[in-house]
C-alpha cells in the first residue's frame, strides 16, 4: 500500500539533497570545528556557510544565528536566557494560551523561579489581539513571546503589529516560528522580533538541530555552559552534519517558497471546501485566510478523532487530531479549547498538513475514503445517539 503522508506539521522527510550534503561530515570531513588543522577548518567553514544560509532565509546577519538542538531548545534558550539575563529590569513575561508546550512549560518553570507570566487569550480563529498585548505590558515586563503560526490551527499571528508595540515599549519580542520558517516568506526586520526559534526537521532538514535568531545587542544568558562555541552562548562541539543539513534545507526552502506557497494554498482551500461539502456537520478550525498554506484543521461532529485516525491509517493515510488519547493526555488540545472549541468539537478534530510531495490525487483519495469512514463511525456513535 502506498502511504499518503499528511502530517508535515509533525515532521518532514529529510530532503535527499540535504542528506547528500550532510554525508561527508560524518566521515571524510569529520573534524572538530574548534581545531586549527585543516580537517577542523573544513568543518568550521561548513558550519559558517550554513549559518549564512539560515541568516539569508530570515533576513538576519550571520552572527545573529545561534545553532541549537531544535525548536524546543531554541524556545527554552530564548525565554530562560532573556529572563535570567534581565532580572534587574523586571520579572514579567507575556505569552499566549495557544503556544507550543516548549514555550508554555518553560513559562511554568519560570513562574516557579519567581517570574510572573500573563497568558493572553485568543479569539475563535486563534488570533491574539495586539491591543491585549499592549494592555498587558507593565513597568516590569521583560519579554513578549507569541508564536508566528500555530502548529495545530495554522493561524498566523499579526506579529508585525505586536512588534511595533514591543519596540515602542522597549521590551524584547520572541517568536516561535518553527511552523513558518521555510514555509511562508518572513523577515525578522519586518516582523520586529528580537528572537526567533526554528527547527530543521520541520523544513525538510534533519531532526535534532535548530537555531535561535538573536538580534544583535540582545541581553541573553548562555544556555549550555562549557566551551566557548557559538560565541559563548551554547557550549558543546557543534553538530556539524546537522548544521550543514539545516543550512541546505534553508537554502532549498528559500528557492521553493515562491512556488510552493500558492500551490499548497490552492490545495488547502480545495480540501477544506470538499470536506465541508462531502461530510455534513464539518467546521473549519482556525482562520480561513490568515493561515499556513499547508494546514487543514476541521472538526467533524459526532465522531472521535482517534477512531478516524485509526481507520485512515488502515488506508495508509497519516493525519493528526487534537483529541485526547492520541496526544497521550486526558484533556483535548489546549489550543482548540482556547480558540473556543467545545470539548466535543475538539475530540472530533482532524488535522491534515501537506508538504512538497502532496498531490491533488492524494487529496482525492482522502476524499474518497473519509466520508464512508465517518458514516460508519457515526452509525454506531453514542455521541450521535445522545443528540437524537
Ligand atoms: C515542532 C515544534 C516545536 C519543537 O521543535 P523540535 O525541534 O521538535 O524540538 C516547537 N514549536 C512548534 C510550533 C513546533 O511545531
Model pLDDT for residues 353-371, shown as the tens digit of each residue: 999 999 999 999 999 999 9
Q: What pLDDT, on a 0 to 100 scale, did the predictor assign at position 382?
A: 72
Give the chain's count of helices (H) and strands (E).
13, 12
Q: First vs last Cα of the chain: how many Å apart?
A: 38
Residue 204 CA to ligand 1 center (angstroms) comes to 13
Q: Where are the domains of the chain?
A: 4-11+257-387, 16-253
Would you say residue 179 has pLDDT above 50?
yes
Is 341 designated active site?
A: no
Would you say residue 24 has pLDDT above 60?
yes
In b/e form, how buried is each residue of 355-378, taking b as 16+ CB within 10 angstroms?
Answer: bbebeeebbebbbebbbebbeebb
Would you say residue 253 has pLDDT above 80?
yes
Q: Whose CA is nearest to atom 10 of ligand 1?
A: 71
Residue 231 Ramachandran class (φ > 0 left, ψ -120 to 50 alpha, else beta):
left
Residues 336-344, mean pLDDT to the nearest whole number: 94
Would you say residue 349 has pLDDT above 90?
yes
The span from the CA of 115 to the CA of 3, in Å, is 47
Would you say residue 329 has pLDDT above 70?
no
The span from the CA of 49 to the CA of 250, in Å, is 11
Residues 50-60, mean pLDDT to the nearest whole number: 98
Would you say residue 325 has pLDDT above 70?
no
Residue 176 CA to ligand 1 center (angstroms) comes to 8
Minimum-distance ligand 1 atom for the alpha carbon of 199? 7
Given 66, 107, 261, 325, which residue is catalytic? 325
Minimum-distance ligand 1 atom for the alpha carbon of 150? 13
3-state secondary structure of 210: strand
CB 148 within 8 A of CB 193: no
Would you say residue 385 has pLDDT above 60?
no
Residues 228-238, mean pLDDT to the nearest whole number: 94
- The fraction of the chain above a pLDDT of 70, given in percent, is 97
Minimum-distance ligand 1 atom for the alpha carbon of 69? 7
Q: What pLDDT, on a 0 to 100 scale, did the predictor assign at position 386?
A: 54
> For domain 4-11+257-387, is the CATH number 3.90.1150.10?
yes
pTM of the model: 0.97
Residues 27-33, mean pLDDT to the nearest whole number: 94
Would you say residue 213 has pLDDT above 60?
yes
- The secondary element (H helix, E strand) that includes residue 166 is helix 159-169
Q: What pLDDT, on a 0 to 100 scale, did the predictor assign at position 355?
A: 98
Give tens-digit pLDDT for 185-208.
999 999 999 999 999 999 999 999
Give tens-digit pLDDT for 264-281.
999 999 999 999 999 999
Q: What pLDDT, on a 0 to 100 scale, did the predictor assign at position 388?
A: 46
Ligand 1 pocket list (CB less than 6 A): 70-72, 100, 102, 147, 151, 176, 178-179, 199, 201-202, 210
Give tens-digit pLDDT for 69-127.
999 999 999 999 999 999 999 999 999 999 999 999 999 999 999 999 999 999 999 99
Q: List the grid coordinates of 327.
A: 496526544
The span from the CA of 51 to the CA of 63, in Å, is 8
The span from the CA of 173 to the CA of 127, in Å, is 17
Mean model confidence pLDDT for the chain: 95
Q: What pLDDT, on a 0 to 100 scale, did the predictor assign at position 324?
A: 66
Q: What pLDDT, on a 0 to 100 scale, did the predictor assign at position 181?
A: 98
Q: What pLDDT, on a 0 to 100 scale, did the predictor assign at position 387?
A: 52
For domain 16-253, give the fold. 3.40.640
The span from the CA of 62 to the CA of 55, in Å, is 5
CB 28 within 8 A of CB 171: no
Higher pLDDT, 388 or 230: 230
The span from the CA of 196 to the CA of 219, in Å, is 14
Amino acid at each position: 500500500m502506498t502511504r499518503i503522508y499528511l502530517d508535515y506539521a509533525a515532521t518532514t522527510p529529510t530532503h535527499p539533497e540535504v542528506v547528500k550534503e550532510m554525508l561527508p561530515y560524518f566521515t571524510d570531513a569529520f573534524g572538530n570545528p574548534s581545531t586549527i588543522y585543516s580537517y577542523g577548518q573544513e568543518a568550521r567553514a561548513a558550519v559558517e556557510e550554513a549559518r549564512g544560509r539560515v541568516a539569508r532565509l530570515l533576513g538576519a546577519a550571520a552572527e545573529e544565528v545561534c545553532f541549537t538542538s531544535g525548536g524546543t531548545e531554541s524556545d527554552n534558550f530564548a525565554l530562560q536566557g532573556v529572563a535570567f539575563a534581565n532580572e534587574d529590569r523586571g520579572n514579567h513575561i507575556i505569552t499566549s494560551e495557544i503556544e507550543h508546550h516548549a514555550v508554555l512549560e518553560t513559562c511554568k518553570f519560570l513562574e516557579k523561579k519567581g517570574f510572573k507570566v500573563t497568558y493572553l487569550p485568543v479569539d475563535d480563529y486563534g488570533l491574539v489581539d495586539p491591543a491585549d498585548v499592549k494592555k498587558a505590558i507593565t513597568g516590569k515586563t521583560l519579554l513578549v513571546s507569541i508564536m508566528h503560526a500555530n502548529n495545530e490551527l495554522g493561524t498566523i499571528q499579526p506579529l508585525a503589529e505586536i512588534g511595533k508595540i514591543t519596540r515602542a515599549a522597549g521590551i524584547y519580542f520572541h517568536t516561535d516560528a518553527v511552523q513558518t520558517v521555510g514555509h511562508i516568506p518572513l523577515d525578522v526586520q519586518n516582523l520586529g522580533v528580537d528572537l526567533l526559534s526554528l527547527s530543521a526537521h520541520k523544513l525538510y532538514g534533519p531532526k535534532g538541530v535548530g537555531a535561535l535568531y538573536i538580534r544583535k545587542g540582545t541581553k541573553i544568558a548562555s544556555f549550555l555552559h562549557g566551551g566557548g562555541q557559538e560565541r559563548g552562548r551554547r557550549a558543546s562541539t557543534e553538530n556539524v552534519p546537522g548544521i550543514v543539513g539545516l543550512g541546505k534545507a534553508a537554502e532549498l526552502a528559500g528557492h521553493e517558497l515562491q512556488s510552493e506557497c500558492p500551490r499548497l494554498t490552492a490545495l488547502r482551500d480545495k480540501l477544506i471546501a470538499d470536506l465541508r461539502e462531502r461530510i455534513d456537520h464539518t467546521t473549519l478550525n482556525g482562520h480561513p485566510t490568515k493561515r499556513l498554506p499547508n494546514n487543514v484543521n476541521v472538526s467533524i461532529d459526532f465522531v472521535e478523532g482517534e477512531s478516524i485516525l485509526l481507520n485512515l491509517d488502515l488506508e495508509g493515510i497519516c493525519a493528526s487530531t487534537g483529541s485526547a488519547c492520541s496526544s497521550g493526555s486526558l484533556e483535548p488540545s489546549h489550543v482548540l479549547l482556547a480558540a473556543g472549541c467545545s470539548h466535543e468539537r475538539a475530540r472530533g478534530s482532524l488535522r491534515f498538513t501537506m508538504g512538497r510531495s502532496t498531490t491533488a490525487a492524494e487529496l482525492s483519495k482522502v476524499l474518497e475514503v473519509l466520508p464512508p469512514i465517518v458514516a460508519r463511525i457515526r452509525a454506531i456513535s453514542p455521541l450521535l445517539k445522545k443528540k437524537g
